[in-house]
């Protein structure tokens, strides 16, 4: 899993690029890095999933945990470029009602 996390000062937003699989093996580092960024900036987050290939229940749980922390800081979180087959996982679990999601075409 390759994770790029940047703070865009112009947009006042944390930009996250996920590449690979967000699963049991990769969520620890991802959660730690996101906690650090949220604590430092207390702002909105945009997660780019264009290169995300797979997500399991652990990955979904971490995204929900991050969303909760962002909301507690008064921010918002959006998921962009989610592949249709990954969107189905969010839909089946009811998370399409929780996250603002943009599906890739």
Mean pLDDT by 10 residues, the chain (105 residues): 78 91 91 92 94 95 96 95 97 96 94
Q: State the alpha helices, DSSP H only, in 1-105.
A: 27-41, 57-72, 84-92
At 42, is the secondary structure helix, strand, or coil?
A: coil
- β-strand 13-22 against 2-8: which pairing, if any? antiparallel
Report the C-alpha gap between 96 and 98 in whole angstroms: 5
> What pLDDT is attached to residue 75?
94
> What pLDDT is attached to residue 1?
64
> What are all long-range contacts of 98-102, with beta carbons under 8 Å and residues at least 24 apart?
98/64, 98/67, 99/63, 99/67, 100/76, 102/78
> What pLDDT is attached to residue 45?
95
> What pLDDT is attached to residue 9?
78
Domains of the chain: 2-103 (3.30.750.24)
| pTM recorded for the entire structure | 0.92
């Amino acid at each position: 899993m390759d994770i790029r996390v940047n703070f865009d000062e112009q947009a006042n937003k944390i930009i996250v690029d996920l590449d690979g699989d967000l699963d049991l093996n990769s969520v620890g580092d991802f959660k730690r890095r996101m906690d650090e960024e949220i604590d430092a900036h207390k702002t909105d987050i945009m997660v780019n999933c264009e290169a995300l290939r797979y997500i399991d229940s652990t990955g979904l749980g971490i995204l929900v945990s991050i969303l909760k922390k962002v909301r507690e800081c008064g921010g918002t979180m959006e998921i962009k470029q989610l592949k249709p087959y990954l969107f189905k996982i969010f839909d089946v679990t009811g998370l399409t009602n929780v996250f603002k999601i943009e599906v890739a075409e």
